[in-house]
Structure 1
Amino acid sequence: MTAKKYARYKESGVEWLNCVPDHWTLRRLGYYFEERREKVSDADFIALSVTKSGIVPQLETAAKTDDGDNRKRVAVGDFVINSRSDRKGSSGVSDLDGSVSLINTVLIPRDELRGRFVHHLLRSTVFQEEYYRFGRGIVADLWSTNYSEMRNIQLAVPPIDEQIAISDYLDVETAKVNALVEEQRRLIELLKEKRRAVVSNCVTKGLNTTVPMKDSGVDGLGKVPSHWTIAPLGCRYSVQLGKMLDTSRITGQNLRPYLRVFDVQWGCINTEDLPRMDFSKQEREKFQLMPGDLLVNEGGSYPGRSAIWRGELVDCYYQKALHRLRANQVQHDTSEFLFYVMLWAADRGVFRAGGNEATIEHLPAEKLRRYRLPFPPINEQKSIAEFLSSVTSRFDALIEEASSAMLLLQERHSAIVSAAVTGKIDVRGLVPQPEAVAI
């Protein structure tokens, strides 16, 4: 069945609501909700996490603080929302008694509201945008909305029987969309795992499965083709860390564009709107990029993240926190093959402390040079790189297709929820009701 519009509408006088059904009640949020400000300890009330999926027992990945005795109480049926704009969408009606951090706002709904309707209404995209519009802060992209501002947001609320009808409809729609999104998410993870397996197999075993093998002597690498060389990276490539930048020393005499660490993503490099810095003649000789150079993230959250410089700009340099790897002329290695080796190593956690993804690691040049990696003959390096470029491109296209499908599903769902809770569509009667049982 297709949702229709209501027979009669009225002007709400509020931009985010626009016109609403004539029989819906317009009041400020502060009329419908009371703020719960009770301070409790997580020793008495279990810690909860406020997520984009709703209110759940505290996640293992949640940042732990020492303010366990300084939290807000949450009761079953309360609506909780994270007040910070960088946590947009993290909210929901709680099915649990517990406690949350002070950054969250806890609301007690009046009896004339139904919890499931509140859950859909206050989690809708249009309400979330309005909520954070009321926020205040000193940083352009990070601010918080307090209850004192939130209470002034205008709401349009239908009668209770209509709240129930809207909730029934949206519960069914949400379940459908969530199931479809989960299917796409599983498909994406499967494609990524297959992609990783193909890269791993090719850079450690090669394309010919019939060649004799030998023990590499490297933990995590296992056996490799017997004719391959296992060598420290520094024996095959020069490793040069970028220039330490100091904006206070800019003279404007020798300005050159340079790459920052976030300009280098896996397999691609941003060259648009690059900043410029003084590079002396000696520094230009030392830090200039040449086609075929491999740029590697020195550390932070993504140690080992790499991309090949293709010569997009004639005269470009790079800052500290990026390593430039350049093949030695004697060995004639190809950075296309090394790129996939770095991808394999990063996926295996080789560049992280003890392989622990929760630990930030750094790759100083001397450490990077010592990593022992596999090096086939140059012709084989090229064949493997060409094969992987073709195969991974197909995987990437499928992953992008699944990601786009998932995004469209989520956008459609958000649009339906927003339309239903603001009365733009009339969903009454769209959810099949159970037949009456004759007694």
Structure 2
Amino acid sequence: MSNWEMCRLGQFIGIKHGFAFKGMHITDIPSRYILVTPGNFHIGGGFKADKPKYYLEIPPPEYILKGDDIIVTMTDLSKESDTLGYSAKVPRDGKIYLHNQRIGLVNFINTEAHPEFIYWLMRTRDYQSYIVGSASGTSIMHTSPNRIKDYKFKCPSITEQKAIAGVLSCLDHKIDLLNRQNKILEAMAETLFRQWFIEEAEDDWEEKSLSSVANFINGIACQKFPPENEVDKLPVLKIKELRNGFSTDCDYSSTNIDRKYIVQRGDIIFSWSASLMVKIWDGEDCILNQHLFKVISDEYPKWFIYFWCKQHLAEFISISTSHATTMGHIKREDIDNSKVLVPSAARLRDRSNLMNSLLDKVLINFKQIESLLEQRDMLLPKLMSGELRVDLIGRANETK
């Protein structure tokens, strides 16, 4: 690392502000143009494609982003400022993404830095801590192009930059492939479910309520059960963690509670308030917070319950948004009123082999993704600091 030079980001990049798109033309209804917002950034950086915003008018062409453009968040509405300043890359998926005013576009002003290296540098905690520490605002935090460009770091040669970026990007590519495979597997399972139990439903099947085929266990107010020590505790699963996974500053609760509130990998979790969603939990053991259901059944297969919950999700979201409250939600009676068609036990057994194999593969992939994420997140600060070095054939070697 002795030959690494101290540099400023501003020696290599500029940051272009986005366009103030008119609010009257921004919508949740899918259209040709996707408006990139701070909500499109994962904690820790990287592009997040769920819950997109759309724009209904023709945008200025100079604010249409290109695939693999590097972008940064300039504003963060969360109290933890856990995405402020982090980088992401615009997907190369054929969709049209728009450069919004709260997003910065990274422009490279010379060839002395490798773009992929800078992308990963702007995903380190050291960089993001600097950005948050220099940010302005109270409830809403802001950074600026000058603050970003003032960040100083030790910069290796362009050859080593490419090697470092190659290691990290290779791991990211594997993670992306597994995530794509999971989307395909779940879409296959959902299509089969809809065909078998909706389109090809038989007249003699029994109609039951969703609440009668599964037990919807509501979470607890975990703040009432603070950790008693550093051993007997687990992280608290809230809506945010259900969507994004756990961060380093998540809350913890005592494990001295009823075991039914412990969430394990493979459990069905249903968020019934604010952001409604149904997921099969793929993370570590944790404790179920209020506003979340753990959905279990002693009588019916997990896949059968899961896909019936997903089948009714659009209806639940519609009910939630119709409530004139500050936080939309559904009630128990909405679950009671949702109908399920139940075939014979023999028919369920016949379908279970394929459905279980599809969802089991999803969980296996999630476990592999978790392992790759741990490797990447362990390597990132070590490679960027020079604690680990990468030779020209891509092998990481401990610095002597």
TM, length-normalised to structure 1: 0.49
Rounded to whole Å, the distance in 1 between the matches of 2:301 and 2:181 is 28
Deviation at 1:187, TM superposition (A): 4.2
Distance 1:304 1:231, change over 3 A: same
The aligned counterpart of 1:62 is 52
SS at match of 1:181: helix
The aligned counterpart of 2:155 is 157
Distance 1:262 1:92, change over 3 A: closer
Distance 1:171 1:229, change over 3 A: same
Deviation at 1:26, TM superposition (A): 1.5
The aligned counterpart of 1:302 is 276
Asked whether the equivalents of residues 271 and 291 of structure 2 are also in contact (C-alpha less than 8 Å), the reply is no
Correspondence for 2:83 among 83, 87, 112: 87
Give a deviation string over 1:385-434, Cα, whole Å, max 9, x none. Answer: 9x96x998876664343223223324434555544444344445437xxx
Rounded to whole Å, the distance in 2 between the matches of 1:122 and 1:221 is 50
Rounded to whole Å, the distance in 2 between the matches of 1:125 and 1:346 is 38
The answer on 1:21 being equivalent to 2:2 is: yes
The aligned counterpart of 2:103 is 104
In structure 2, give the amino acid aligned to 1:123: M
Distance 1:366 1:430, change over 3 A: closer
Give a deviation string over 1:280-336, Cα, whole Å, max 9, x none. Answer: xxxxxxxxxxxxxx99865553378899xxxxxxxxxx98998999xxxxxxxx864
Distance 1:55 1:321, change over 3 A: closer
The aligned counterpart of 2:207 is 230
Rounded to whole Å, the distance in 1 between the matches of 2:16 and 2:343 is 66
Distance 1:110 1:118, change over 3 A: farther
Rounded to whole Å, the distance in 1 between the matches of 2:270 and 2:148 is 46
The aligned counterpart of 1:374 is 341
SS at match of 1:138: coil
Asked whether the equivalents of residues 70 and 119 of structure 2 are also in contact (C-alpha less than 8 Å), the reply is no
The aligned counterpart of 2:124 is 125
Within-5 A mapping of 1:196-345: 204=197, 220=198, 222-224=200-202, 226=204, 228-230=205-207, 300-302=274-276, 336-337=299-300, 342-345=305-308
Distance 1:296 1:119, change over 3 A: closer
Deviation at 1:66, TM superposition (A): 10
In structure 2, give the amino acid aligned to 1:154: K
Rounded to whole Å, the distance in 2 between the matches of 1:407 and 1:305 is 16
Rounded to whole Å, the distance in 1 between the matches of 2:117 and 2:62 is 20
Gapped regions of structure 2 (runs ≥ 5): 23-32, 222-236, 243-251, 256-267, 282-288, 323-327, 395-400
The answer on 1:402 being equivalent to 2:396 is: no
Asked whether the equivalents of residues 269 and 278 of structure 2 are also in contact (C-alpha less than 8 Å), the reply is no
Distance 1:79 1:272, change over 3 A: closer
In structure 1, give the amino acid aligned to 2:110: D
The aligned counterpart of 2:178 is 184
Rounded to whole Å, the distance in 1 between the matches of 2:107 and 2:172 is 27
Asked whether the equivalents of residues 270 and 276 of structure 2 are also in contact (C-alpha less than 8 Å), the reply is no
The aligned counterpart of 1:169 is 163
Rounded to whole Å, the distance in 2 between the matches of 1:75 and 1:200 is 37
In structure 1, give the amino acid aligned to 2:52: A
The answer on 1:352 being equivalent to 2:318 is: no
The aligned counterpart of 1:430 is 393
Asked whether the equivalents of residues 79 and 109 of structure 1 are also in contact (C-alpha less than 8 Å), the reply is no
Rounded to whole Å, the distance in 1 between the matches of 2:134 and 2:358 is 42
Deviation at 1:346, TM superposition (A): 2.2
Asked whether the equivalents of residues 241 and 320 of structure 1 are also in contact (C-alpha less than 8 Å), the reply is no
In structure 2, give the amino acid aligned to 1:373: V
Gapped regions of structure 1 (runs ≥ 5): 1-19, 205-219, 246-259, 266-270, 275-293, 308-317, 326-333, 432-439
SS at match of 2:53: coil
SS at match of 1:26: strand
Distance 1:127 1:359, change over 3 A: same
Larger Rg, first or second structure (1 or 2) = 1
Deviation at 1:48, TM superposition (A): 7.1
SS at match of 2:110: coil
Rounded to whole Å, the distance in 1 between the matches of 2:253 and 2:335 is 29
Deviation at 1:82, TM superposition (A): 1.0
SS at match of 2:309: helix
The share of aligned pairs that are identical, in percent, is 10
Distance 1:132 1:394, change over 3 A: farther
SS at match of 1:91: strand
Asked whether the equivalents of residues 209 and 340 of structure 2 are also in contact (C-alpha less than 8 Å), the reply is yes
Rounded to whole Å, the distance in 2 between the matches of 1:322 and 1:414 is 31
Rounded to whole Å, the distance in 1 between the matches of 2:90 and 2:206 is 60
SS at match of 2:118: helix
Give a deviation string over 1:89-146, Cα, whole Å, max 9, x none. Answer: 4335999xx973232345555537334265345334245444444254535xx74433
Rounded to whole Å, the distance in 2 between the matches of 1:304 and 1:372 is 17
Give the total of aligned pairs. 323
Asked whether the equivalents of residues 10 and 150 of structure 2 are also in contact (C-alpha less than 8 Å), the reply is yes
CA RMSD of aligned residues (A): 6.3
SS at match of 2:52: coil
Distance 1:99 1:353, change over 3 A: closer
Rounded to whole Å, the distance in 1 between the matches of 2:199 and 2:370 is 37
Asked whether the equivalents of residues 135 and 146 of structure 1 are also in contact (C-alpha less than 8 Å), the reply is no
